[in-house]
Amino acid sequence: MSKDIRIKKGLNINLIGAAEQTTSKAVLSNVYALNLDDFHGITPKMFVKQGAEVKAGEPLFFNKNREDMLFVSPVSGELVEIVRGARRKILTLKILADKTQEYVNHKIVDVEKSDAESIRSFLLQSGGWPFIKQRPYDIIANPEATPKAIFISGYTTAPLAADANYVLNGKEAELQAAITALGKLTPGKVHVSVGSESNSPLEKLDGITLHKVSGPHPAGLVGTQINKIDPINKGEVAWTITPQDLVILGELFLTGKFNAERTIALGGSIVKAPKYYTTKIGAEISTFLYASGVNEDKFRLINGDVLTGSKTHPEGYLGFYNNTVTAIPEGDDYEFFGWNKPIFNKISSTRALTFSWMQPNKKYDLDTNTNGEHRAFVVTGRYEDVFPLDIYPLQLLKACMVKDLDEMEQLGLYEVAPEDFSLTEFICISKQPHQQIIREGLDLLHQEIG
């Protein structure tokens, strides 16, 4: 059964450098790394010591608050370095990869016949669990909670992000296995959404409720879809997972191996030949970045898309959840009378001598300049134009800033993740850090209410 979701509010950010739909195999990386910042709210406890030999899929550390939630190595090799920061906090785990990869072989789980409990413990033990995220709080799902539904977005609207339809091609078996397994973990539905005119491999899966989504970004964000399909209430839990991570879970169920391989999109105006690469979680970004070539020496490299990704550098590593790497120009230059002259080469949500409204399909080369300084909230009514959720964005942000827990709850903080505020942050005239405000609000709420 298919239900249509039409999103009207939003803004497509068309950038130069979309990845061409051809896939190359990236050079094998010498060192793979897990960046612990990817696992928000997890306090790691190491399983193995520095210098230990691990197989791909062998646990490296566990969640201090839940000892059975394991985080595994993406490759086999030697744990060469544990990078620590202030107060000995673990930042990064680096693994020097073996020439021939060895995998931990789990017992193959028959997803059709298994019950919820065995799937749950299999995912926790095999390292597949961290791919499942939950709302509220946008953190790795709490295995104790039963979700009311699971949401998967197969519709890509984020700028330069990897096209789900393309990267999922030919992965139907894995997807089906993962969907069947996850479906057992919830008494509710598994909501899968695809673009209204796409031909997605997700469409033909069994055991899902299919939604056809159309409209500008953020229509592809799972938070938007949850809000339109079945919004989260206080006390409820919903799980989300990206379709690419479903593939890894599916393979885990079908073969018993944790195969960290994924297809990623490399894009952005800096990249000479933007296209797709197959690589592994934690691979050095330089292994594929320089294969495509860069136009300039100075640029911003982003683990993820330009709206929600995190800053990295060519020696950095592909993030645990990322399937997009973007390189755009740094904008650390002054512009003479930049605040009052007509602007033709930047995207704007207004028409105040900015002309992006005249060419909605033009592709832009945006840099990282903030185009203005941080200010107090002044303008109103603008966020609502790009924020399709049934939530008052400005009021919720203000509630988070003043740490008013009651307001945060009532205004719908349980329903959102920082990424839902990426577009309001993009258009914010006061240049306020929306995603950070929401993240801090969520952490506070989690800490106080649990």
Partner 1 sequence: MKEKLHQIKEKYKGKKMAPAFNAIHTFLYSPNETTHSGSHVRSADDLKRTMNTVIMALVPCLLFGIFNAGYQHYSAINGFPAEFSLFEHFLTWENFWLGAITVLPIVIVSYGVGLAIEFIFAVIKGHEVEEGYLVTGMLVPLIVPVDTPLWMLAVAVAFGVVIGKEVFGGTGMNILNPALTIRAFLFFAYPTWMSGDKVWVHGAKDGITQAGSADAISGETVLGYLAQGNTEFTYSLSDMFYGFIPGSVGETSTLLILLGGLFLIFSKIASWRIMLSAVIGSLAMGLIFNGIVAAEWIPEYSKFYGLMNFEYWQHLLVGGLAFGIVFMATDPVTGSQTNRGKWIYGFLIGFMSVMIRVFNPGYPEGVFLAILLMNVFAPTIDHYVVRGNIKRRMKRLKTATIHPKVTDGVEALKTETV
Residues 317 to 376: which contact partner 1 by CB under 8 A?
Answer: 326, 328, 330-340, 343, 346-354, 356, 366-376
Nearer to partner 1, 363 or 374 (CB): 374
Q: Sheet harboring 77-84: ordered strands across?
A: 31-35, 90-97, 77-84, 53-54
Task: Provide the 8-state DSSP code for 297.
Answer: S
Instruction: Establish if 47 lies at the interface with partner 1 (CB under 8 A).
Output: no
Tell which positions 185-204 bind partner 1, by CB under 8 A.
187-188
Query: Residue 71 pairs with which residues in a beta bridge?
Result: 61
96 and 78 Cβ atoms separated by less than 8 Å: yes
Specify whether the CB–CB gap between 388 and 224 falls below 8 A.
yes
Q: Taking the complex as a whole, how short is the minimal distance between the CB of residue 246 and partner 1, in angstroms? A: 22
Residue 383 contacts residue 370 (beta carbons within 8 Å): no
Nearer to partner 1 by Cβ, of 47 and 392: the residue is 392
Taking the least distance from each CB to partner 1, the nearer of 148 and 446 is: 148
Binding mask 80-119 for partner 1 (x = CB under 8 A): ----------------------------------------
Site for partner 1 in 231-270 (CB under 8 A): 231, 233-237
DSSP states of 79-129:
EEEEEE-GGG-EEEEEEEEPSS--B--PPPP-TTT--HHHHHHHHHHHT-G
**Which one, 214 or 348, has the nearer CB to partner 1?**
348
* Contact by Cβ (8 Å): 415, 227: yes
Q: CA 326, CA 158: separation in Å to the nearest integer?
A: 12
Cα separation, 419 vs 435, whole angstroms:
7
Write out the binding residues for partner 1, residues 116-135 only, by CB under 8 A.
120
Q: How far is the CB of 311 from partner 1 (least distance, A)?
A: 7
CB closer to partner 1 out of 286 and 369: 369
- Nearest distance in Å: CB 373, partner 1: 6
Where in 369-408 is the site for partner 1 (CB under 8 A)? 369-382, 384, 390-392, 394-395
Q: Which of residues 148-187 bind partner 1 (CB under 8 A)?
A: 148, 159, 187
What minimum distance in Å lies between the beta carbon of 166 and partner 1? 23
- Residue 120 or 171: which CB sits closer to partner 1? 120
CB closer to partner 1, 100 vs 370: 370
Size of the site for partner 1 (CB under 8 A): 88
**5, 93, 427, 445: residue in contact with partner 1 (rule CB under 8 A):** 427
Lay out the site mask for partner 1 across 281-300 (x = CB under 8 A, - = otherwise).
-------------------x
In the complex, the smallest distance separating the C-beta of residue 107 from partner 1, rounded to whole angstroms, is 22
In angstroms, give the least distance from the CB of 212 to partner 1. 24
For the segment 406-425, give every residue that binds partner 1 (CB under 8 A). 410-412, 418, 422, 425
**Distance in angstroms between the alpha carbons of the first and the last residue of the chain:** 36
In this structure, the dihedral spanned by the alpha carbons of residues 43, 49, 51 and 57, taken in order and rounded to 10 degrees, is: -60
CA 440 to chain centre: 18
Identify the H or E element spanning 436. Answer: helix 434-449
Q: Which residues contact 100 (CB under 8 A, 6 or more apart)?
A: none
**How many other C-beta atoms are found inside a 10 Å radius of the C-beta of residue 286?**
16
Shortest gap between Cβ of 315 and partner 1 (angstroms)? 19
Going by C-alpha positions, the residue among 92, 51, 100, 50 that lies closest to residue 75 is 100
φ and ψ at 97, to 5 degrees?
A: -75, 145
Closer residue to partner 1 (CB): 79 or 442: 442
Query: Does residue 33 belong to the site contacting partner 1 (CB under 8 A)?
Result: no
Q: Does 433 bind partner 1 (CB under 8 A)?
A: yes
Largest CA distance in the chain: 67
